[in-house]
Structure 1
Amino acid sequence: MTRAFLAAQYVRDLPLTDEGQQLIYDTKLQGFGLRVGTTRKAYFCEGRTGGKKRRVTLGSADQIPIETARKLAKKAMAEMADNIDRNADRKRARKEAIPLAQASEAFFRARELRPKTRYDYERVLQRHFSDWLDRPLQEITPNDTVVRFDHISVTSGKASASLAVRTFSSIWNFTRHAYADEDGNPILRECPTQRISALKKMHKPVRRQEYVKDFGRFFSALESVQSFDFKIYFELLARTGARRSEISNLRWQDVDLEHQMFVFRDTKNHRDHWLPMSEQVERMFLLLRQRYGEGPYIWGQAPLGDPRKSLASFRNAYGAPLRAHDLRRTFSTLSERLGIPHYSIKHLLNHVTDGDVTGGYIIHDPERLRPEIQRISNEIDALSL
């Protein structure tokens, strides 16, 4: 520790350090000092706040006269004596000034999001909150979120408004807990979107009820589509209950024709999902193997392309706006109708059972599902007659 009388001439003539920093304490005012670094000199003062030692930077020695620095030091030390932590206040102010864009980037870095999930978050931010990205979170009021929610509801629909609120709330709540004071207390207030819920404005989700009721019409419409790939793709969705991305990205390395099994890797619930093949599904895989056996994907050299054109053709022939996910609903509806046990249906659909104590005691064996998935495929054939 170096002590010296910090006169103006002494401070001006003191050379910068070659590396690191040097602290020089004033012999006239206890707790007041000069920090000398490699590029600048700055005045500081030290004291205790809440039983903890604190060092407060007062300003650059090139800009503040020495007597002014001493006055600032006395004021800062008086504040510390009254348990006012200026450093904590500065940190709090910086954290409170975090803009939405910075908060969202920190959220993306901390969360292990799939590329598609991150894309969806970013799309919502750009579409509905682009004018808020540079705005500090603390400036966004509860009434701001209510007005924005109502606007999105009118211009983009109720589902988009609800998704926007959930996206904004996720980022805000993460930031609230990520940026806290030294004791772990959140600096940000509670998420302002809570006012939307308090006013009972959140739209209740309406689940689609569409599913295939007439498989004769379904297969007739499917046959009218020119695309071979789409025919196989849509029928696989109906016979396996898989999600569309699982089928469109399936690779041959994950298809075991010898044992009539296939697996969807790293699915929505971050698990591999094994399924046995029904006889009908096996025949479709053999057709694809015959056609695209040399490619890494079951569709050839790349995942399945955009099916929207073929889907539109199918819908025109089918006479209803059937979606890919409606086939998953059809699969589960048939499963329940056939009396397949509840836990078997959950495993067939790859739904998480972690929160279910009883489900946690049931060891999942994919082979056990073979009779069940065969029954579903047979029922589809019977309903198409």
Structure 2
Amino acid sequence: MTLRSSSVQLTPIKTRAVTATGQDKPPNRGVGSTICASFVTEMAIVTLSDALIGKGAGKAGSVLRDRRLCGLCLRIGARTQTFVVATTSRGKQIRVTLGRWPLLTVDEARELALPILRRCRAGEYIVAPVRAQLPTLRQVLPEYGKAKKVKASSLARYESVLKTHFADWFDRPVSALKEPAFGAHCYAFAQTKGAAIVDLGRGLVGSIIKFLFAVHSVSIENPFLRLSAAGLMPDRPQPRSRNLGERDLPAWWKAVDSLPERQGDYLRLIVFTGLRKNEGRAVRRRDVDLDNKVLSIPETKGKRPHSLPITESMRHILVRRCHGLEPQQLLFDGLSADHVTEMATRAGAPEFTLHDLRKLLASIGARLEIGDAILRRILGHAPKRGDVLHRHYVSLEAADIGESLQRIQSTVVQSSAKPIL
């Protein structure tokens, strides 16, 4: 190594290949004979100084090692010169970037490198693991949905809520939810939006925060819990009132009977069974066992299978709808559940929702003094978690509720004959 015109002349590292017997191995000029470029980086040992670096010491791609402090290096790039600590600790290579010259002088670099080198020599230096980049809310949502087995329709709704009401955080790392700005936004959201959307938003955000802690070990305080503890959250939304009563059934039946057969059969099946609108639409031919008189619902809102006995009132409807269908075909394929209610209303039925029919069936059952366990079984509701008797001991089959369901259906039909005074 010689210095010429204030620049460093570097000597490349030379290697010699030998055979197992110690003799020189002839050079292989074929594929794979080139040594890795990072391994043969030109290196020189010099006394680093600001003056030397300023005059252009070394060419781009070379590394200068400091003679005064072994382990301190200067990595020379096309536009920058960077101080680096290059040494080993307990048999492992250690590379620590200190900073760039001239923002960092040679003396400052030596001062920073010295304690690192001492710890490496003592075997005490621990390389901090690279922190994984946290996902964004957009990336977490599908993962959350898969883990929680959320239906596609519900997942689309959750995404819409986050995009609409939490747009500023949707494409940012989830660590941004720790910021005070997010807490302030949640407060504004709770004070300015309707009770139903606030209830959905607080539940969704809280559930995602719990998921992040369990899966990604990210601890985030739920802003809605703080607001609730301070009494700053609005009241929970009240259940929607039922619009359709028993006294409305004569007009309702008259309107339903005037509808096309498929739409009319759908509404009749809902009022006789209390099925949710999507459960009724999803019934396939293979779900109807006319021989054993059982109607099966593979998956309900609670993600559980459900079954009902096929009564005489239901049998006429199901026989018509199953005629000529393959096992996988839907009984009400292409039918819009919401559009059916509009058709019935235009035909003279009182204003109602499909959920009103479910509530009507439950109300009639309660008035007939049918037990809670049987009503829950008809509606496909699970007992409360604390109800050990009905959650773990009482098990009712479809045949066990047939008589009670027939009583409710008979009352529904009788109520249509004349108004209830």
> Partner residue of 1:219?
253
CA contact (8 A) 2:251 2:349 kept: no
Higher helix content, 1 or 2: 1
The runs of 5 or more residues in structure 2 that have no matched partner are: 1-9, 15-35, 40-67, 74-83
Q: Where does the alignment leave 5 or more consecutive residues of structure 1 unmatched?
A: 1-8, 18-27, 34-41, 49-53, 181-186
Match of 2:177 in 1: 137
The one-letter code sitting in structure 2 at the alignment partner of 1:229 is: R
CA contact (8 A) 2:270 2:357 kept: yes
- Residue of structure 2 equivalent to 1:371: 403
Return the offset for 1:43. 5.7
Residue aligning to 1:148 = 189
Aligned 1:36-55 pairs, distance under 5 A: none
Count the aligned residue pairs: 341
- 8 Å CA contact 1:45–1:73 kept in 2: the answer is no
Structure 1 contact 146–195 (Cα < 8 Å) conserved: no
**Aligned partners of 1:79, 1:145: CA distance in 2, in Å?**
47
Separation of aligned partners in 2, 1:30 and 1:372:
90
Distance 2:125 2:185 in 1: 33
Matched, 1:328 2:358: yes
Provide the C-alpha distance between the structure 2 equivalents of 1:174 and 1:294, rounded to a whole number of angstroms: 42
Q: Equivalent of 1:58, from 50, 74, 96?
A: 96
The one-letter amino acid paired with 2:183 is P
- Give SS of 1:193's match: helix
Matching residue of 1:315:
345
* Alignment correspondent of 1:235: 268
1:146 corresponds to which letter in structure 2? Y
- Quick one: which of 198, 201, 223 aligns to 1:161? 198
Please report how far the alpha carbon of residue 347 of structure 1 lies from its aligned counterpart in structure 2 after TM superposition. 0.9
Distance 1:312 1:178 in 2: 45
Pair 1:283-2:283 in alignment:
no
Quick one: distance in 1 between partners of 2:140 and 2:285? Answer: 41
Q: 1:323 deviation in Å?
A: 0.7
Partner of 1:91: helix, strand, or coil?
Answer: coil
Counterpart of 1:58 in 2: which secondary structure?
A: strand
Q: Does 1:357 align with 2:393?
A: no
Of residues 202, 205, 209, the one that matches 2:241 is 209
TM-score scaled to structure 2, two decimals? 0.68
**Residues 43, 69 of structure 1: 8 Å contact kept:** no
| 2:374 counterpart of 1:338 | no
Greater C-alpha radius of gyration: 2
User: Aligned pair in 2 of structure 1 residues 307, 348: CA closer, same or farther (>3 Å)?
Assistant: closer
Relative distance call for 1:227 and 1:76 in structure 2 (3 A) is farther
Q: Distance in 1 between matches of 2:85 and 2:350?
A: 75
The alignment-based identity, stated in percent, is: 22
Task: Work out whether residues 288 and 298 of structure 1, in 8 Å CA contact, stay in contact via their aligned partners in 2.
Answer: no
Deviations 1:32-69 (A, max 9, x none): 99xxxxxxxx9677889xxxxx997524999999x888
